[in-house]
Amino acid sequence: MALTSCKSCKQQVDTSAKTCPHCGIANPGITAKQQFMGLIILAVIVVFAFSMCSSDSDEPSAQAEAKVDDATCMKDLQCWGDRQSIAGGMRCKPFVEKLAKYSFKWTDGTFETKFSHFRWLNQQQGTLTLIGDKIELQNGFGAFQPHVYECDYNPVTEQILDVRARPGRL
């Protein structure tokens, strides 16, 4: 138990006391100077946080300038897969769930994608195979078994071409 002087009556009080037992003043251990210094430190932290979150340059970022059109992006697997995997994953998810004979449960996190990998199905057509392993399908004995699932997706027509799953992990 640390003691300090009351800012009003100068008697010894506990530093965690809400009121002084001698004179009744609120927060007897905190002086006006300490309150002022606390506000200054808080203001410095707010200004620092604001300056770190804002951009000083008026120029558009290099990333904004590096936008690639769909025709160019379709030639590169990484670009095309990154651009289409989220939309394809949303469209493929219900079809993967329908593969379950009994029940299923997703094992991914809240903001994690269901399809973590992709590959070309047909590069000339721009079709992709989205691949993931974030599901467990229930077997006939009631046990859940992890599965790898694949979804053939055509981003141009937004169609699901085929869906399949097999036991295992990536």
Domain boundaries, given as residue ranges, for the chain: 3-46, 71-167
> Residue 40 carries which side chain, given as an amino acid letter?
I
Among 87, 170, 98, 100, which Cα is nearest to 138's?
Answer: 100
The phi and psi torsions of 142 (rounded to 5 degrees) equal 95, 0
CA–CA distance, 107 with 134 (Å, rounded to integer):
5
- What per-residue confidence (pLDDT) applies to 105? 95
Q: What is the pLDDT of residue 88?
A: 92
- The predicted pLDDT at position 25 comes to 81
Q: Show contacts of 79-82: CB within 8 Å, 24+ apart.
A: 80/126, 80/128, 80/155, 81/118, 81/128
**Which pLDDT value is given to residue 43?**
95
Q: What's the predicted TM-score (pTM) here?
A: 0.61
> What are the mean pLDDT values of the chain's consecutive 10-residue runs (170 residues total)?
80 83 80 85 92 70 64 89 91 94 92 92 92 95 95 94 95
